[in-house]
Each structure stands twice: as C-alpha cells, then as structure tokens.
Amino acid sequence: MLSLTNGIKNVDDVLNSKISGLQYDLVEHILSDRQCIGRGILVFVSGMPDIVNLSERFEKINESPSYANRFKVYIIHSEIPLEEQQEAFLPVDSKHVKVVIATNAAESSITIPDVDIVVCLGTSKSVQYNSNTHLSYIQNSWISKASGECTHSIQ
C-alpha cells in the first residue's frame, strides 16, 4: 500500500510538493495499470496547479512510443471555456483513454457517461483564518474521511 504520509511529521501541515508528486504518481500508475481503452477516468483535484501538473504529465506520457497519444485529456474548471469543457462529455474513440481532470468543486454535480474509474486526490482548497493577522487565506488541505469514502471499487 502506498502511504502518502510516509515520512511527514504532521499531516495537518500545508501540503507540500512531495505529497503532490506522490499523488500524481498514483494517478499515473492507476491509468497505466487500468487502461480503459475507449472509456474514461475522472480525476478530482483541488485546483488549477494540480490540473496543469497532471495535464503536463500526460503530455509527456503521450510522447512515449509505448503510449503514442493514447490519453485524451479534458479539463473541467471555471477558467476553461465552456466549449472545451463540454468536449469531456463526448464519447472517446476506441483507440484512446479519456482522462477528465476536474476540481472537486464539481464533485457533486458532474456525471460523465463513459467514465469507469474516479480518482480523488484527497485534497481540497479551504478558507482558513489567521487570528493573529485577522486575515483569511486559502490553503490546500486534506479532505475529511467522510468526504473521501466511496461506494465504488475498481474491478
């Protein structure tokens, strides 16, 4: 079992790039292992930095001869034009794997018919308040155990 908290003293601390890297490795491993040719995988992330990093990873994977543009990446985020987001709801051809990357803000309101696997990175952006400075800020943090529970399993 891969432990995303291995070697971290306090998992409540702000999530760092080491954790994000492990999360991306996990997504990459799942997609490499569970290639749903002609089907889709939905990955919930906490924000645009995760979307950019995962998209770049899949661009590099697609460049390798063993994958040869197998993954079609679609992004669902408020900063992406609606026309581009709607492409994620169209079926993918039988030669490709659809990878939909969306922020977890869409988690309760999105259904993509040809998605067989859903992966949540387990993080979200949350508003925190610093009582010393009297300022609010947004921090990437772990989701609750209840939010992370899933009734579906990978076959």
* Residue 115 identity: V
Q: How far apart are CA 108 and CA 75, in angstroms?
A: 16
Q: How far apart are CA 36 and CA 65, in angstroms?
A: 18
Q: Where are the beta strands (DSSP E) in 60-130?
A: 71-76, 97-103, 115-120, 123-130
Q: Could you tell me the pLDDT band of residue 107, with boundaries at 50, 70 and 90?
A: low
Q: Which domains does the chain have, with CATH numbers?
A: 17-121 (3.40.50.300)
Return the number of other C-beta atoms located less than 10 Å from residue 5's C-beta: 11
Model confidence pLDDT, tens digit, residues 69-100: 888 999 999 888 999 999 999 998 888 889 99
